[in-house]
Amino acid sequence: MNTALSWIKAYVPELSCTDQEYRDAMTLSGTKVEGFERRDKNLEKIVVGQITQIEAHPDADKLIVCQVNIGAETIQIVTGAKNVKVGDKVPVVLDGGRVAGGHDGGPLPENGIPIKAGKLRGVPSNGMMCSIEELGSDREMYPEAPEEGIYIFEPDTEIGADAVELLGLRDSVFEYEVTSNRVDCYSVLGIAREAAATFRKPFVPPVVSKTGNSEDVNDYVSVEVIDQDLCPRYCARVCKNIKIGPSPKWMQRRLAASGIRPINNLVDITNYVMEEYGQPMHAFDLDTVAGHKIIVRRAKDGDMFQTLDGQLRKMDSEVLMICDAEKEIGIAGIMGGENSKITDEVHTVLFEAATFNGANIRKSAKRVGLRTDASGKFEKGLDPRNAEEAINRACQLVEELGCGEVVGGMIDVKTPLAPLRVLPFEPERYNRLLGTNVSKEEMLAIFARLDIIYDEKAGTLTIPSFRQDLVGMADIAEEVARFYGYDRIPTTLPNGEATSGKLSYKMRIEQKARDVAENFGFSQGMTYSFESPKVFDKLLIPADDELRRTVTISNPLGEDFSVMRTISLNGMLTSLATNYNRRNKNVRLYELGNIYIPRQVPVTELPDERMQFTLGFYGDGDFFTMKGVVEEFLECVGLSKRKEYDPNIGKPFLHPGRQASIRYEGKVLGYLGEVHPEVCDNYGIGTRVYVAVLDLPKVIPFTTFDRKYEGIARFPAVTRDISMVVPKDILVGRIEEVIAQRGGKILEDYSLFDIYEGSQIKEGYKSVAYSISFRAKDRTLEESDVAAAMKKIINGLSQMGIELRQ
Partner 1 sequence: MKAKLDQIRERAIAQIKECENTDKLNEIRVGILGKKGELTGILKSMKDVAPEERPQIGQWVNETRAEIEKVLEERYAKMERLVREAKLKAEVIDVTLPAKKPEIGHRHPNAIALEEVERIFIGMGYEVVEGPEVEKDYYNFEALNIPADHPAKDEQDTFYVNGDILLRTQTSGVQVHEMEKGKLPIRMLAPGRVFRADEVDATHSPSFHQIEGLVIDKHITFADLKGTLAEFAKELFGADTKVKFRPHHFPFTEPSAEMDVSCFKCGGTGCRFCKGEGWIEILGCGMVHPHVLEMSGIDPNEYSGFAFGVGLERIALLKYEIDDMRLLYENDIRFLKQF
Residues 525-544 that bind partner 1 (CB under 8 A): 525-530
Q: Does 348 bind partner 1 (CB under 8 A)?
A: no
Residues in 397-456 at the binding interface with partner 1, rule: CB under 8 A: 432-436
* Cα gap 656→540, rounded to integer Å: 13
Closest distance between partner 1 and the C-beta of residue 477, in Å? 6
Taking the CA of residue 582 as centre, how many other CA atoms within 13 Å lie in the half-sphere pointing to its CB? 9
Q: Does 335 bind partner 1 (CB under 8 A)?
A: no
Per-residue binding letters, 246-265, with partner 1 (x by CB under 8 A): --------------------
Residues in 162-201 at the binding interface with partner 1, rule: CB under 8 A: 179-182
Closest distance between partner 1 and the C-beta of residue 192, in Å? 18
* Cα gap 646→623, rounded to integer Å: 14
Only segment of 232-240, 277-285, 492-500, 790-798 that touches partner 1 (CB under 8 A): 492-500
Burial grade of 496 (CB within 10 A; 0-12, 13-18, 19 or more): exposed
Q: Does 29 bind partner 1 (CB under 8 A)?
A: yes
Q: Does 269 bind partner 1 (CB under 8 A)?
A: no
In the three-class reduction of DSSP (H, G, I as helix; E, B as strand; rest coil), residue 795 is classed as helix
Q: Does 687 bind partner 1 (CB under 8 A)?
A: no
Closest distance between partner 1 and the C-beta of residue 24, in Å? 10
Which residues are bridge partners to 460 per DSSP? 424, 455
* Cα gap 398→239, rounded to integer Å: 8
Closest distance between partner 1 and the C-beta of residue 791, in Å? 43
Only segment of 29-37, 206-214, 257-265, 780-788 that touches partner 1 (CB under 8 A): 29-37
Judged by CB under 8 A, the residue of 588, 627, 651, 766 near partner 1 is: 588
The alpha helices in 419-491, defined as continuous H runs, are 427-434, 440-449, 473-484
Are β-strands 222-225 and 293-298 bridged in parallel, bridged antiparallel, or unpaired?
parallel
Q: Does 477 bind partner 1 (CB under 8 A)?
A: yes
* Cα gap 771→749, rounded to integer Å: 8
Closest distance between partner 1 and the C-beta of residue 111, in Å? 16
Q: Does 492 bind partner 1 (CB under 8 A)?
A: yes
* Cα gap 388→279, rounded to integer Å: 10
Closest distance between partner 1 and the C-beta of residue 485, in Å? 10
* Cα gap 746→716, rounded to integer Å: 12
**Nearest Cα residue to 266 out of 278, 282, 280, 254:** 282
Q: Does 554 bind partner 1 (CB under 8 A)?
A: yes
Closest distance between partner 1 and the C-beta of residue 716, in Å? 33
Closest distance between partner 1 and the C-beta of residue 587, in Å? 5
Using an 8 Å Cβ cutoff, are 337 and 303 in contact? no
Nearer to partner 1, 94 or 197 (CB): 197
Judged by CB under 8 A, the residue of 273, 299, 354, 517 near partner 1 is: 517
Closest distance between partner 1 and the C-beta of residue 187, in Å? 17
Judged by CB under 8 A, the residue of 379, 388, 389, 674 near partner 1 is: 379
**Nearest Cα residue to 589 out of 624, 614, 612, 620:** 614
Only segment of 73-81, 127-135, 207-215, 490-498 that touches partner 1 (CB under 8 A): 490-498
Only segment of 156-164, 327-335, 557-565, 662-670 that touches partner 1 (CB under 8 A): 557-565
637: left (phi over 0), alpha (psi -120 to 50) or beta: alpha
Q: How many residues bind partner 1 (CB under 8 A)?
A: 92
Q: Does 473 bind partner 1 (CB under 8 A)?
A: yes
Only segment of 446-454, 471-479, 641-649, 776-784 that touches partner 1 (CB under 8 A): 471-479
* Cα gap 396→383, rounded to integer Å: 21
Using only the alpha carbons of the chain, give its radius of gyration: 41
Using an 8 Å Cβ cutoff, are 410 and 237 in contact? yes
Taking the CA of residue 17 as centre, how many other CA atoms within 13 Å lie in the half-sphere pointing to its CB? 19
Only segment of 223-231, 254-262, 318-326, 499-507 that touches partner 1 (CB under 8 A): 499-507
Burial grade of 267 (CB within 10 A; 0-12, 13-18, 19 or more): middle
Only segment of 247-255, 524-532, 639-647, 724-732 that touches partner 1 (CB under 8 A): 524-532
Closest distance between partner 1 and the C-beta of residue 326, in Å? 33
